[in-house]
Structure 1
Amino acid sequence: MNDRAIRSLADIEHLEAIPLEQRLAGFASSYDVFRRSAELWPNATAISFLPQGIVDEEALRISYGELFANVTRAANLFYSLGVGPSDVVSYLLPNLPQTHYALWGGQAAGIVNAINPLLDAEQIAALLNEVSCKVLVTLGPSAGPELWSKVVALRDKVPSLQSVLLVQEPEPPEETLSFDVELAKQAHDYLLSGRRIGRDDIAAYFHTGGTTGTPKIAQHSHWNQLANAWCGTVAVDLGPQDTLLCGLPLFHVNGVIVTGLAAFMAGSHVLLAGPMGYRNRAMLEQFWQLVERFQVTAFSAVPTVYAALMAVPRGEAELSSLRFGICGAAPMPAALIRQFEQATGIRILEGYGLTEGTCISAINPRDGERRPGSIGLRIPYQQMKPVLLDEQGRYVRDCAVDEIGVLAIRGPNVFAGYTQEEANRNLWIDGKWLNTGDLARRDADGYLWLTGRQKELIIRGGHNIDPALIEEALMRHPAVQLAAAVGKPDRYAGELPVAYVVLREGQSVSPEELVDYARSVVPERAAVPGEIYLVDSLPLTAVGKVFKPQLRYDATERVFRALLEPSMNQTLWRIKVGPDPVYGVRMQIMPAAPMAARAQITQAVHEVMAGFSLSYELIWID
């Protein structure tokens, strides 16, 4: 795709001298990516699939010619079931080759809708109804009994659902079809529909953030996906020489775009490392051996995966093929980056993206200067800037260098909005720029640094949790008057949910009882708060809204008081967390220690803080 990866902002500006429409003149849709790759590399391996994700099993290899044929078959199968350009094919699947067939074939026939199979039946039904799903592709009773039980529970709750296709189920139950059997019956070299897909046609729906009663559905056009895939390949110089390990789920945009469409556009080899990917402990324990066997050159993961891999012995595995790892979804502690790179010799490229921007918006340069803690430089054709807004969310001005503001983005990868009009209110700044809800600053060289969040999502191991999911559940308890959920820092997960609760007058319930109650009523297991703090009142803004930053500061102080106490050697000390004009949030650690004890305390504090991305300073009190 490119003779070298991007090194600086000047390289990006040089690329942008040619319009993106000209660079992608041969592409109108994601389907064209597979057609072109099959023409260029028909016999090259597109996907190697490991059924269990372990190193010594035989891999199923799928060539680019076979991949295009099966995507075409899937599109024709969906067309035969009545799917047109505005109809929705949903898939509820782990990482399988058939997931790719359904995903890209669904986009060639109509609109594809990716759903997290870990959600409960009620949440899945809400998502299917929100998009008026016509066809569902999932696992049946033999291949996925737990998933099948959810489908059985929700089928009658989705009036629009006309057909259910079951993967790896040659003899499906009544009123369902075998995806694999039906696929084999279809034409493989042309679209029966004769559809001419336009760049502005909607390709996919992805649900975003946590899942409350009204899930937000982001719309991706074919042009959004093409633009993001091309820019991603150029940003890190992907090509046919690369093998990308896919361990992130294919219901998430990172798995779909970074280790999916971008790789296929570049003619790269994708190692589909088992149905559960990184969730499979056996795969993680053999990660380095998988790298050696398949000569993996790159992979994408979240900070929790990198932390877990640090504990996996590398043994005699030869890792010279690995060029880089991509990290996104949540901030990664700079110390973890240094430790990982020193231990493995692998460069970590921190980046930033969101579903509303298709996937990736910024990344540290592969061959240029990487600045740990930053999200790097914007990708080509993606505009990004921090801006100041007034109290009504209206644009005031662009931020100066190193001034914190709301991160705004625009470009060909930025979506046109959610399916629900009410969700689009206050989404756009000045009518043109997407309000990401993140706070950031931009340094003099164009590197961007996240400094906090204007939006209130809790990010646990790269998984977005809507605090409303927790708050609404807790508020159903008869003793609870008010509840507010925020994330507390965690060395492994990045953030864990906690909740602050005000009880009704005269009521009595323990924090432990409320945690037990939350386990029974919060529908998303990852969203259950591990701790609940009973308080007399919640901090409020001038207009009476709960002031979440103050709760996050308090939760942070609680975590680090416990972690740092052993380091203080019984010295008097205090801690303060609050806003910072450059770092967004900063912690002050203030020990009253004699000079002789300061070196030991300093070292101990640095060791504790090395696992976190939080900015801090030691202030000695005489």
Structure 2
Amino acid sequence: MSDRTIHSLADIERLESTPLDQRLEGFDSSYDVFRRAAKAWPDAPALSFLPQGSADEAALTVSYKELFSNITRAANLFHTLGVGASDVVSYLLPNLPQTHFALWGGQAAGIVNPINPLLEAEQIAALLNEVSCKVLVTLGRSAGPELWDKVVQLRGKVPSLQAVLVVNESAPEEGALSFDIELLKMPADHLLSGRRIKRDDICAYFHTGGTTGTPKTARHSHGNELANAWCGTVAVDLGPGDTLLCGLPLFHVNGVIVTGLTAFMAGSHVLLAGPQGYRNRAMLAQFWQLVERFRITTFSAVPTVYAALMSVPRGEADLSSLRFGICGAAPMPAALIRQFEQSTGIRILEGYGLTEGTCISAINPRDGERRPGSIGLRIPYQQMKPVILDEQGVYVRDCAVDEIGVLTISGPNVFAGYMQEEANRKLWIDGRWLNTGDLARRDADGYFWLTGRQKELIIRGGHNIDPAVIEEALMRHPAVQLAAAVGKPDRYAGELPVAYVTLHEGASVSQEELIDYARTAIPERAAVPGEIFVVGSLPLTAVGKVFKPHLRNDATEHVLRTVLAPCVQQASEWQVSVEPHPVHGVYARIVLTAPQPLHSEITQAIDEAMAGFSLKYEVTWVAA
């Protein structure tokens, strides 16, 4: 049996008989990964880039020797701009070769801070100020006019910002430098700083996705990233003969670690399938041709991408190189796994990860039994367990087998905490176990099963309903492509389940038919949704997760429009919106137009109608 074979938890425990320090001998930083790769595989392809994500265009390929040289140049460029070990290099970039140069060069010089370029200028400025960004790498006006406009808006709002570098610009705007030109001025064979990087040095600040509230800034150390990357190479058995397609953004840990550092540690080849990755529909339409041309062996994606790929014709494309796909950025309905595997013949390894755990925390064993719907086994060297907490979030006990509790993790991949100290309160259990905020159970064989987030449970009259029960059932309907279930407020039950679905191309089904189907497909009567909305698309985060807060807000608006309609008949105009709130989570804004003498009467009626809801709200009057 190979040392890297993983059939079961026993194999993971066998791997752990060798200390992790021994596994990582010779690696003290991410920079060491590229130094070693350049020596071991100097002429092998490290990165290939398709400017348009098209299967028939010429690819720009960067060897491991060239990649290491450019990372070293980037580190030296940042150093000359005043970046030290505790200073921050932020980047606002799509998926480009230069993104990797800035990412890993930033870690060699100081601390790198990837930021989602789709955010608004005010949000970006707030994140840059949070980390006291010293250097920003982005696109210039000709390469990225919309992004450059954001940079122009925020430059005066970030006092710590000393330099802006622009990619793919030969003649940058005043006040900016050309990243590509300046790189060529730097030495490529050594670090000018002479820095000796240690494993516990902070190397990255990642802002969380914000699906559960205001984004927080997670601190990663070099040791965190090295441990997670090594576990990734073992989990999917990567080597120099593998090619990984990167379609997820390089401001997210999945793109950076799974189809980034993990691949480079193994000497594998990474294909950047266009600047926009999976967000480029043209790339998705040619996905199977890309697999054939580049002999792709694996890729990582979210459930929405797998659902979309089922509708992409495969034609005569040779897919024999593809060993499996990885899904770990969001729970994947078991029905979708079965549909995809039956349709394509390609295995899916479903896993689980979070920014706070660097990236990967669990995955189904590639050599052993895959249990659809589970997130698989924990990775080596990281412990994982569900626990029972009291109402104050204090540890009570570990969960029994198949008992649902709050999922906790502990190990070398687990971060040291957020930059914001207030965000670290109640984050740790007994000092070393990270509270992930997810609910899960562990079966007798060590497989973990997510049962939702603490805030995603639908609580109907004190009865907990797992949204996955509804989603799994609806996904089995032949017309349904994706489903998402949330709770809508109810004055009597607290919450009632409601669902949103998208349909396969060309499919048609009514709300009534879906509800009738749900009554037979969902074994739990209380979980049957009273409403099922057929929509053209589900709201997604930047990395393709279904953004459930938006759906919950939409469901709440539907309820309030019905509840408030009798109260506001005397108003000439009115509307209600449900919005995020920093203190209350969400709140309702009710805006009305009516003669002033009627304000008191209408307000009283609204107060009576809203009395049964825990939702905070405010009434605003607009002059007639």
TM-score (norm 2): 0.77
Closer, same or farther: CA 512–311 of 1 in aligned 2, 3 Å = farther
**Alpha-carbon offset, residue 512 of structure 1:** 9.6
> What amino acid maps onto 1:232 in structure 2?
G
Contact 1:354 1:360 in 2 (8 A): yes
Task: Tell me what 1:10 maps to.
Answer: 10
Seen in structure 2, the aligned counterparts of structure 1 residues 234 and 498 have a Cα distance that, compared at 3 Å, is same
- CA positional deviation for 1:21: 1.0
Cα gap change, 1:538 to 1:148, in 2 (>3 Å):
farther
> Using a 3 Å threshold, how does the CA distance of structure 1 residues 485 and 330 change in structure 2: closer, same or farther?
farther
Q: Structure 2 vs 1, CA of residues 489 and 401 (structure 1 numbering), >3 Å: closer, same or farther?
A: farther
Distance 1:157 1:167, change over 3 A: same
Counterpart of 2:52 in structure 1 is: 52
Point out the more displaced range, 316-325 or 492-501: 492-501
Letter in 2 for 1:130: E
* Structure 2 residue aligned with 1:498: 552
1:274 aligns with 2:274: yes
Separation in 2 of the partners of 1:437 and 1:8? 26
Mapped contact 1:489–1:495 kept (Cα < 8 A): no
Letter in structure 2 aligned against 1:132? S
Aligned 8 A contact 1:5 1:236 in 2:
no
327-336 or 283-292: which moved more? Answer: 327-336
* 1:420 is the counterpart of 2:474: no
Letter of the structure 1 residue corresponding to residue 552 of structure 2: V
Answer yes or no: is the 8 Å Cα contact 1:239–1:267 preserved in 2. Answer: yes
C-alpha distance after superposition, 1:420-474 (max 9, x if no partner)? 11010000011110000000000000000001111469999xxxxxx9xxxxxxx
Give the Cα–Cα distance (whole angstroms) in 2 for the partners of residues 320 and 66 of structure 1: 30
> Aligned partners of 1:382, 1:507: CA distance in 2, in Å?
56
Other-structure match for 1:26: 26
1:346 aligned partner, one-letter code: I
The offset of 1:511, in angstroms, is 12
My pick for the range that moved more, 14-23 or 253-262, is: 14-23
The match for 1:365 is: 365
What residue number does 1:339 align with?
339
Map 1:201-216 to 2 at 5 A: 201-210=201-210, 215-216=215-216
| C-alpha distance in structure 1 between counterparts of 2:574 and 2:320, whole Å | 50
Secondary structure of 1:361 counterpart: strand
Q: Contact 2:3–2:15 at 8 Å: present in 1 too?
A: no
**Cα displacement string for residues 92-143 of structure 1 (whole angstroms, at most 9, x for unaligned residues):** 0000000000000000000000100000101000100000000000000000
Secondary structure in 1 aligned to 2:552?
strand
Q: CA deviation at 1:336?
A: 1.4
Is residue 217 of structure 1 aligned with residue 271 of structure 2?
no
- Say whether the 8 Å CA contact 1:4–1:237 is kept in structure 2: yes
- The Cα offsets for residues 200-258 of structure 1, whole Å up to 9 and x where unpaired, read as 00000000132899641000000000000000110111111110000000000000000
Give the distance between the partners of 1:11 and 1:442, measured in 2 at CA. Answer: 17
CA contact (8 A) 2:273 2:283 kept: yes
Are residue 92 (structure 1) and residue 89 (structure 2) matched?
Answer: no
Aligned to 2:595: none
Which residue is 2:350 aligned to?
350
Match of 2:181, as an amino acid?
A: V
Partners of 2:246 and 2:270 within 8 A in 1: yes
Provide the C-alpha distance between the structure 2 equivalents of 1:487 and 1:301, rounded to a whole number of angstroms: 27
In 2, are the aligned partners of 1:169 and 1:178 still within 8 Å (CA)?
yes
* Structure 1 position 9, deviation (Å): 0.4
Gaps of 5+ in 1: 461-466, 468-483, 547-622
Per-residue deviation at 1:310? 0.2
Three-state SS of the structure 2 residue aligned to 1:317 is coil
Alpha-carbon distance between aligned partners in 2 of 1:216 and 1:495, rounded to the nearest angstrom? 17
Following superposition, the deviation at residue 537 of structure 1 comes to: 4.1
The residue that corresponds to 2:83 in the other structure is 83
Deviation at 1:333, TM superposition (A): 1.6
What is the correspondence of 1:459-498 to structure 2 with a 5 Å cutoff?
488-491=499-502, 493=538, 494=546, 496=548, 497-498=551-552
| In 1: Cα distance, 2:499 partner to 2:208 partner | 21
Query: Quick check: 450-459 or 110-119, which moved more?
Result: 450-459
The aligned counterpart of 1:119 is 119
Counterpart residue number, 1:442? 442
- CA displacement, residues 47-78 of structure 1 (integer Å, 9 cap, x when unaligned): 01000000110000100000000000000000
Describe the SS at the equivalent of 1:417: coil
Matched letter for residue 92 of structure 2 = L
1:500-558 superposed Cα distances (whole Å, 9 cap, x missing partner): 2569997678999446x97xx99xxxx999xxxx9944877xxx799xxxxxxxxxxxx
1:365-384 to structure 2, matched below 5 A, reads 365-384=365-384
Instruction: Give identity over the alignment, percent.
Output: 76
Match of 1:612 in 2: none
Q: Which residue of 1 aligns with 2:176?
A: 176
Alignment partner, residue 150 of structure 1: 150
Once residues 410 and 23 of structure 1 are traced to their aligned partners in structure 2, the CA distance between those partners, rounded to angstroms, is 19
Name the residue aligned to 2:603.
none
Tell me the secondary structure at the aligned position of residue 39 of structure 1.
Answer: helix
Partner of 2:396: 396
- 8 Å CA contact 1:456–1:486 kept in 2: the answer is no
CA distance in 1, matches of 2:424, 2:383: 20
Correspondence for 2:103:
103
How far 1:498 moved relative to its partner?
Answer: 3.1
Letter in 1 for 2:345: G
Shift of residue 490, structure 1, vs aligned partner: 3.9
Equivalent in the alignment of 1:583: none
CA positional deviation for 1:489: 4.8
Moved runs in structure 1, 4+ residues, more than 3 A?
Answer: 2-5, 211-215, 455-460, 484-496, 501-515, 534-540
Task: Indicate the SS of the match to 2:69.
Answer: helix
1:344 Cα deviation after fit: 1.5
Aligned residue in 2 for 1:411: 411
Take 2:430 and 2:73, find their aligned partners in 1: how far apart are those partners? 44
Alignment check: 8 A CA contact 1:138 1:164 kept: yes
* Corresponding position of 1:481: none
Change (3 A) 1:378 1:174: same
Q: How has the CA–CA distance of structure 1 residues 512 and 255 changed in structure 2, closer, same or farther, with 3 Å as cutoff?
A: farther
Report if aligned partners of 1:259, 1:270 keep a CA contact under 8 Å in 2.
Answer: yes
* CA distance 1:439–1:487, change in 2 (3 Å): farther
Q: Report the residue type matching 2:123 in the other structure.
A: Q
- Contact kept? 2:230, 2:265, Cα under 8 Å: yes
Q: Residue 329 of structure 1 aligns with which residue?
A: 329
Deviation of residue 335 (structure 1)? 1.7
2:227 and 2:572 mapped to 1: Cα distance? 52
Counterparts in 2 of 1:194 and 1:448: CA distance versus 1, 3 Å: same
